[in-house]
Amino acid sequence: MILDNPTRRDFLKTTALAGTAAIGGGGNVFGQQAVPFDLVIRGGEVIDPSQKLRGIRDVGIRLGQIAAVEPSIGPERAKQTIDAKGKLVTPGLVDLHTHVYPYGSAIGIPPDELVPYSATTTYVSAGDAGANNFAGFKRLVAAQSRSRLFAFVHISSIGLAGFPVGELLNIDYANVDAAARTIAENPDIVLGAKVRETLAFVGDNGIEPLKRAILAVERSGTKGRVMCHIGNAPGDLSVLVDTLRPGDILTHPYSSLGNNTVQNGKVLPALLEAKKRGVIIDVGHGAGSFNYDVAEAAIQQGLLPDTISSDVHVAAANTPSKPYLPWVLSKFLALGFSLEDVIAAATIRPATVIDRVPKLGTLQIGAPADVAVLELVEGPVELLDTSNKPRTGKAYLKAVQTVRGGVPFGRPYTLPFSAN
């Protein structure tokens, strides 16, 4: 806009339009280059199920947020570049079931150490801490990790500190008031309560720990969920499943341990009814909770997973089944799921369950700049379940690079150093 005799009002209007263009990243302003992107991830195949987007795009990041997803962003507009040609670019993976409380939980792994193998930017600690040791998780792990962390508080006040001894063999550990207070006081990172309903962990207490977990969430006054672990469940599994509310999470549905979802080749009807009423089905691979035969039978009969999670922990990390999230996703590719489906089950769907950060699990404009760069490695690959039974896949997913809050993990370090 060029004015021969500009008034002050004309000048201010023109300046405002120019400033808007600069903030938007387009064009030149009074002869100066538009504000550049802090980072551009260039030339990758972008897959964002939240937008039904799949195609070659450049992703521009500015001030820790997704600022552009375009067919091409000129090199002059990038302060830093990641070359993603031939790779997949997805929202940073979101793992709904992990154990990431080192030293406080007997099976916890430092979350940031998992990133190079998992391309995961958001981890949910699934009951590592109970009311007695949750403050340690929040202050010593969550507050000091680059990874984004959330948690379910264990209904047992000691969490998993005593593993492998069952944390609910003594029902007195299931302190409803203490769990409710911990949930209520930490709404920023606590999603609800966790309970492990396995005979070895609850003994003669049956589903009383589950009932107390639900009561703790309700007493907290939040909209929290209960994540319920099964696998050789106590008593009648149908009764346990019928106790779950819409929005609660059932994890380990494809375990081959006794008294689980598939019995005599059939999925228990209660499981299918639970899914219909809104109970979330979460994979929770782990060290012993994913069996191909069980998964195939359950999926064929309608018990599909809503979220795919790793359940990675110390006892699982070095097993032949490799419970790192891209590897777990690869097993579902081998079971016939599409690439878009498995990415959705590890991005937008668990992010929706978390429901704390706007646009988490997406590459939408304004979303947190959490990005995974993955390679889809073509060719026959042997993928083991937790019983060490193989399936041959046509390809597998491999973590290449991870960006959290606009900052790539790993060197080179930024100046000034950023912990985000």
C-alpha 164/C-alpha 167 separation (Å) is 8
pLDDT score, position 22: 44
Mean pLDDT, residues 224-244: 97
- In percent, the amount of the chain with pLDDT more than 70 equals 90
- The pLDDT value given to residue 68: 98
Residue with the two structure tokens 């929290």: 224
Q: What is the CATH number of domain 93-358?
A: 3.20.20.140
Give the separation between CA 66 and CA 331, rounded to whole angstroms: 30
Instruction: Please calculate the CA angle 261-266-271 and round it to the nearest 5 degrees.
Output: 40
What average pLDDT does this structure show over 138-167? 97
pLDDT in tens, 190-233: 999 999 999 999 999 999 999 999 999 999 999 999 999 999 99
Specify the pLDDT at position 25: 44
At position 114, the amino acid (one-letter code) is L
Which of 64, 135, 86, 153 lies closest to 403, judged by CA?
64
pLDDT digits (tens, 9 = 90+) for 42-74: 999 999 999 999 999 999 999 999 999 999 999
- Partners of residue 262 on adjacent β-strands: 267
Tokens of 153: 């508080």
Q: Are 94 and 359 in contact (CB under 8 A)?
A: no
Confidence at residue 418, expressed as pLDDT on a 0 to 100 scale: 58
252-283 tens-digit pLDDT: 999 999 899 999 999 999 999 999 999 999 99
End-to-end CA distance of the chain: 40
What's the chain's average pLDDT?
Answer: 92
Structure tokens at 413: 């370090």
The distance between the two most distant Cα atoms of the chain, rounded to a whole number of Å, is 88
113: CB partners within 8 A, 6+ apart: none
How far is Cα 80 from Cα 414, in angstroms, rounded to an integer?
Answer: 11
32 pLDDT above the threshold of 50: no
> What are 364-415's pLDDT values in tens digits?
999 999 999 999 999 999 999 999 999 999 999 999 999 999 999 875 555 6
Beta bridge partners of 398: 375
The length of the chain is 420
The predicted pLDDT at position 275 comes to: 98
Helix (H, G, I), strand (E, B) or coil at 404: strand
Task: Return the percentage of the chain with pLDDT > 90, whole number.
Answer: 89
Residue 417 and residue 114: Cα distance in Å, rounded? 21
- What SS3 class is residue 372? strand
Across the range 340-360, mean pLDDT stands at: 98
pLDDT at 10: 45
pLDDT digits (tens, 9 = 90+) for 83-140: 999 999 999 999 999 999 999 999 999 999 999 999 999 999 999 999 999 999 999 9
pTM of the full structure: 0.91
Cα–Cα distance, 236 to 372 (Å, whole number): 41
What pLDDT score was predicted for residue 222? 97
Q: How far is CA 90 from the centre of its chain?
A: 13
CA atoms within 13 A on the CB side of 61: 24
Measured CA to CA, the distance from residue 219 to residue 316 in angstroms comes to 34
Predicted pLDDT at 34: 75
* H/E element, 136: helix 134-136
Query: What's the CA gap between 128 and 156, in Å, rounded?
Result: 10
Pull the structure tokens for residue 399: 């973590």
Q: Is pLDDT at 327 greater than 80 in this prediction?
A: yes
Which parts of 107-244 are beta strand (E)? 120-126, 148-154, 190-196, 225-229
3-state DSSP: the chain helix, strand, coil percent, rounded to 5? 30, 30, 40
Burial of 416 (0-12, 13-18, 19+ CB in 10 A): exposed
| Amino acid at site 318 | N
Domain boundaries, the chain: 93-358
User: 30: pLDDT confidence band, cut at 50, 70 and 90?
Assistant: very low
* Strands annotated E in 283-408: 371-384, 390-404, 407-408
How far is the CA of 341 from the CAs of 52, 253, 331, 346, 400, in angstroms? 11, 18, 12, 9, 20
